[in-house]
Amino acid sequence: MPSPASYASPRSLGIAASVLLGLTGAAALWNAAVVLAVGTSPDSAAGLALLGAGGIGEVLLTAATAVVFIMWLYRVRVNAEVIYPHGHQRGRGWAVGAWFLPFVNLYLPWRITIDVWQASGPAGEHGVPQPVPATVVNAWWSTWIAGLLLARMPAPATVTASEFCTAAAAVLAILVVRRLTAMQERHAQAARAVAAVPAHWAPAGQS
């Protein structure tokens, strides 16, 4: 049985994930430019060397980004249980495990992110979160999946399109990280404000 959920700020992990996502997106754009350049000079040794170096760099950046992003996602998933414990279709461990299961990883990480997004919305009546449009989450996931599919087609045009999708998905993922982190931090600030009010305190004019 998992330990009780406790809130911890996701801000530091969010900043680290955003920086790495930005670097990954930049690497994808660089590789797209190199692929286009090599396509016009397929026998260029310098171009092929750049392509190889860029590919290795992007793989390493992607791996580092994945580790930090998954750490951030796990953190906000745990926080979401504190903010609103209902509405989560999977346990918190799936925020990590879902990424490593073939085929499942094409859907479940998105589903978990949506659940966390909705649980982190502004508190409404009886503490139930108000619905928050998840357009940016859907756009991020769709773009990322498109990039994965295009990467499986070895033609230069589809490889270039895949790199552009990767760069776009990185930008959208940064927006997801920033917005979801901000939503959870607002909940934390509200909770601290309530905790700071003395139990015997009453507004002026009330007794």
pLDDT tens digits, 158-186: 889 999 999 999 999 999 999 999 999 99
> Six-digit token pair at 151?
């990467």
pLDDT over 60 at 75, yes or no? yes
Rounded CA gap, 75 and 16, in Å? 13
pLDDT at residue 47 in the model: 59
Query: Higher confidence at residue 202 or residue 4?
Result: 4
Alpha helices (runs of H) in the chain, residue ranges in sequence order: 11-40, 45-83, 94-97, 108-119, 135-151, 156-196
The domain limits of the chain are: 11-193
